Amino acid sequence: MLKLLARIPPLLLVVIGFILGLALAGALLAPRALAIKPEDGAQEIPATSRIRLSFSRPMNQASVEAGFSTDPPQSGQFSWEGRELVFTPDAPWPSNTEVEVRLKAGALGRFPLPLLVSKSWHFRVGTPRVLYLWPASGRANLYLIDPGSESGAIQLTFHEAGVLDYTLSGDGTLVAFSLNTENGGQNLQTLDLISGEEKFIHACSAEVRCSNPALSPDGRWLAFVEQSLNVGSGGRSMPQGSQIRVLSVPDAEMVIAASPTDHTVRDPAWSPQGWLTYYDESLKATALLTFDPNAAPSPFTYVPNSLGAAGSWSPDGTRLVYPEIYFVPAQGDEEQGQSDTAYYSHLYQTDVTSGGTQDISPGDALQVEDASPVFSPDGTRLAFARKYLDPERWSPGRQLWLLDLSGVGSTELTSEPNYTFSAISWDPDSQRLAYMRRASSDLALGPEIWWMDLDTMESDLLVPGGYLPQWIP
């Protein structure tokens, strides 16, 4: 070998070394795809899951997007978070389907050097399932159940002090929840439904109550209510003013005030396009603001609401439907000066782009108590609960109703006057409902979770003693 090298001209050796050095440097400096979420081989992935690809170096975004594809083919939107590509599908992935994600070689980094090899990953989409809390009679934890399977419920969390409430990210992959601690405080934690990883993100002391967590659509921000407690007479903790706080899920140490310090506020939520909303008790209105962690919170509009009940956003984020008080002048005795006013609860819809508001409670009857509106994911229907208040049709409990938003009309789905229906949730295909049913006259019986197929109009008991159901796509 030494004799062979001795015969090679020195200049040629220099050239060969230079070429080998360039090849080695190119291999070391060339960008690489580091990780993908969902991970390769992942199972039971929610149908609305985003795909995230992270790279070792900053990338030429257009060239990466051009080399990206899926099988089955799926249209969607690309966005970038630093070196991470995020693909958001326009429609849910088909249930029980193997999805292949491909990235062609040649996509350029900013250097610019190309990806040297093509890559592919696989994950399997599961079926829609129902997330809920159980038991209502004791310290609850999070569970998961597939209504179409006989495999039974799966326990997701194991906290002896109990989970208080929870929220689900827009793509159905992350749960944030509040729970009691043994020292009397409360913590906020997250649970990754794909990996099963549970993560502590924020602690509240015994003097502060943290509740009503709400995840932004992209899962990056968690809004919650922070309420101070004051020890009153007899040693009892009395709630004081409440504020909305927002924390960064990736960087849990960043906690930002998102509401005026001199207002009492509650019920944080997010619109589909990422506006932060909350109910302002001081103004009797729902505040809407574009959340910016680097700017002071400043709502760009308010939607007046005397009742203060939570509403529902249309899937396109342009309309907000909520219960509101409807006043009807009663027929009084003019001679005796009687002029009482009756009031009921109707559903109102506000177009936040134009500010227009209209009463959309269906039917001719004014004497109703409509509540709990929820848009279907396809935006064509609205499920809600109704109770008649006139003497002829009055009942103890609210029934489940369906309003066709194309103008076809409304349908009563249940007729069980001694039960109240609430906590309504749609499946991603807009064909099934999960909801809570509870006896109106005997609260000791506790709640139940039921589900209904709107094609067949058949309903079935899903979880005795469960509450707060929500479909995972």
Summarised one tens digit per residue, pLDDT across range 342-389 is 789 999 999 998 889 999 997 766 789 999 999 999 999 999 999 999
pLDDT score recorded for residue 294? 87
Q: Say whether pLDDT at 212 is over 80.
A: yes
Q: What is the mean pLDDT of residues 403-408?
A: 87
Phi, psi of 135 (to 5 degrees): -95, 160
Q: 239-283 pLDDT, tens per residue?
A: 677 999 999 998 877 889 999 988 999 999 999 989 999 999 999
Q: Give the pair of three-digit tokens for residue 250.
A: 């990736």
pLDDT score recorded for residue 28? 46
Distance CA 473, CA 128 (A): 5
Distance CA 372, CA 382 (A): 10
Distance CA 223, CA 55 (A): 30
Q: What is the mean pLDDT of residues 310-339?
A: 77
pLDDT score recorded for residue 296? 86
Nearest one of 65, 125, 136 to 96, comparing CA atoms? 125
Nearest one of 180, 174, 130, 138 to 159, comparing CA atoms? 180
Predicted confidence band of residue 113 (pLDDT cuts 50, 70, 90): confident
Q: What is the mean pLDDT of residues 23-51?
A: 79
Distance CA 167, CA 175 (A): 6
Q: Say whether pLDDT at 12 is over 60.
A: no
Q: Give the pair of three-digit tokens for residue 15.
A: 């050239």
Distance CA 203, CA 189 (A): 9
Burial of 446 (0-12, 13-18, 19+ CB in 10 A): middle
pLDDT score recorded for residue 20? 46
Predicted confidence band of residue 418 (pLDDT cuts 50, 70, 90): very high
Q: Say whether pLDDT at 19 is over 60.
A: no
pLDDT score recorded for residue 236? 58
CB 110, CB 58: distance < 8 Å? yes
Q: Say whether pLDDT at 10 is over 80.
A: no
Q: Say whether pLDDT at 96 is over 50.
A: yes
Computed on alpha carbons and rounded to an integer, the radius of gyration of the chain in Å comes to 28
CA angle, residues 157, 158, 161, in degrees to nearest 5: 115
- Higher per-residue confidence, 21 vs 428: 428
CA angle, residues 128, 384, 313, in degrees to nearest 5: 70
Count CA atoms closer than 13 A to 374's CA, side-chain side: 23
What average pLDDT does the structure give for the chain? 87
Percentage of the chain with pLDDT > 70? 88
Distance CA 349, CA 317 (A): 12
Q: What is the mean pLDDT of residues 453-461?
A: 95
